[in-house]
Each structure stands twice: as C-alpha cells, then as structure tokens.
Chains A and B, each alone.
Chain A
C-alpha cells in the first residue's frame, strides 16, 4: 500500500540556519508528492509539489526534489526565519485507483528562534 514517513520532530533552529526535513514514501506506482504547512489554528496550506521523478518543487525559499531511486522528497531551506515556525507535512497521492487520496506523514514541528 501507500504510505509516507517523515522525520519526527520537533526541530528547533536558530534564524538563518539550514533546514532539512526528511520524507520517504512507499507506493505501488509513481505518486505525486507534496509538502503542506500548517500554522497554529489554521488549515494545511500547499507549500510545494512535484509530479514526476527529478522534478523540483520550490516556493518561498523551500525546495524539495522527487528522488525515485531513494523514494524520497526531502524538504530544504537555506536560511529559515522565525515566520517559518509551523508544522510541515509530507504527502503523496498514489494516483490510479487512489487518485485524490492523500497519504500524509505524521508531521514535523519546526520552531525557529530569533
């Protein structure tokens, strides 16, 4: 079946530090991959996506590259800000018979200190 595993948090960083949140997936086919961000008291917001191998999704300084060989989609940012503090979710859409059904990782809480 389809599943997503992401690194457990919480992650605490100082402002301007480098961020990596690991995400790997298990799927029967070639899923589309997403990163969502959840700020306190709000719903999930799409951060970036990639739909095929070697695609790089990017937005607001965040990047993630779809690596088929390692079944990974790690989130990176070169210099985090306090405003990036949130919970980050990796998700996969398996396509085919499960098209539209998102499988989420458990979420990673990021706290950035000034």
Chain B
C-alpha cells in the first residue's frame, strides 16, 4: 500500500462530458503529480502541485485542469471528453520538490469514454 488514494477506481462516461478524479497524497507529502497512461502514448506527466500551487506542467490539454486544496488532496478535471481521453490516470506524491525524491503512486483511475 503506497498510501496514495485515488477515487474512483473506474469511470465510464460519454463524449462531451466532464469528470473529476480525486487524489489524496501520502501523509506528510506536499507534492502531488498527475500522469496519464495510454496504449499509444505510454506514461506521460501532466501536472505537478506543491503545497497548493502549480509547480510544473507537462503534456496537459487545455480541456484538463487540476488543483490542490489546503488539505493537500488534489483533483484533476477533464472536460469535453473525447474517445482519445480513455486512459489510466495516476496520481503520485512525494515529500517536496527541493530535491529528487521517489514518487509514490496510487492505483489509478481507469477512465473509459464510450
């Protein structure tokens, strides 16, 4: 058990819809990262937050947004969903961004767009 909790585990929805994925980091971790795992792109970094503030952005679409709340949990919002957004979305956490630290991953949310 990594200590990182993601909900829901599975999400099935239709094109054009909007969904919210939730992540609770390990106790004591201040940094949260979101990754997308798809068959064609592999594992891609989306975005990082540290203590409530956006720290780094990767290959995140404009239709996607995220935030980290004062209690440090994070949400990834995906809107105007397309078939190609079907993927496994992982959240990871680490203590902080000052130096390289291992990231601890949740079990992911599998998003299926019909």
Contact = CB atoms under 8 A, between A and B. Distances in A.
Contacts of A49: 102
Interface stretch (B13-21, B71-79, B105-113): B105-113
Contacts of B58: 101
A69 interface: no
Contacts of A93: 100
A-B pairs, top 3 by smallest CB distance, nearest first, are A43-B105, A104-B43, A32-B100
B104 A100 contact: no
The B interface, classified by DSSP as helix, strand, loop or mixed, is strand
Interface residues of A, number: 24
19 contacts: A41-B107, A43-B2, A43-B6, A43-B90, A43-B107, A43-B108, A45-B105, A46-B103, A51-B100, A89-B43, A100-B31, A100-B48, A100-B103, A101-B45, A101-B56, A102-B103, A104-B43, A106-B42, A107-B43
A89 B105 CA distance: 13
Given A44-B105, A93-B100, A98 B56 contact: yes
A34 interface: yes
Interface of B: 2, 4, 6, 31, 33, 35, 42-45, 48, 55-56, 58, 90, 92, 94, 97, 99-100, 102-108
Contacts, number: 57
Contacts of A103: 45
Nearest to B33: A100
Interface string A17-32: 0000000000000001
A102 B104 CA distance: 12
Nearest to A49: B102
Contacts of A42: 107
Contact of B55 (A34, A44, A100): A100
A26 B35 CA distance: 20
Contacts of B100: 32, 51, 93, 95, 99-100
A4 to B, nearest CB: 10
A106 B41 CA distance: 8
**Max chain B Cβ within 10 angstroms of own Cβ: one of A42, A44, A46, A100:** A100
Nearest to A94: B100
